[in-house]
Amino acid sequence: MKKNIALFAVVAVLFAGIGVYLGDRQTSPAPAEASAVNALLAESMADASGKTQALSQWKGRPLVINFWATWCAPCVEEMPELSALQSELNAGKKVQILGIGIDSPSNIAQFVSKYQISYPIYVGGMGGSELSRRLGNQAGGLPFTVLVSSDGQVKKTYLGRLKMDELRKDLEQL
């Protein structure tokens, strides 16, 4: 029994290390599939409170779509910055940040109740991983963020922890 627990602990630490490594790395993700944004906006997902929401409500607006998980340290680290950015954006541009959690509904609900997040959080579950791949995340790493123009075109993707200055510059060009 102790050997199984020790083996499980080693595997957990290994996966956590890989997650931290991928989360801190900035790479150039693959181009998004042409129809991936339309497919995403045709989806309905539960929000953090469990209420199903149509993502089509965000169509026609510039979007920052952030794929994240509660167990992803770089994801959690950048969320307060994204939340502050959303508050800034509310004053001027009509850019909307959306969070899509690659996690269980209960973990996401617990997380959102614990932290103040100023943008909508949706439960993507494991299907969210496939959505992020179609938007260019071939590595499957988190966090993964997609910048979408108001006409639904993917303008840029970011794999790993966001550099907020870079994101702000990219938003100015929308």
Count CB atoms within 10 A of the CB of residue 166. Answer: 12
What global pTM score does this model have?
0.81
- Residue length, the chain? 174
pLDDT tens track for 11-63: 344 444 455 554 544 445 556 666 899 999 999 999 999 999 999 999 999 99
Q: What distance in Å separates the CA atoms of residue 86 and residue 47, rounded to the nearest whole number?
A: 17
Contact by Cβ (8 Å): 52, 46? yes
pLDDT tens track for 89-122: 887 668 999 999 999 999 999 999 999 899 999 9
DSSP-H helix ranges across the chain: 2-24, 36-41, 73-91, 105-114, 127-134, 164-172
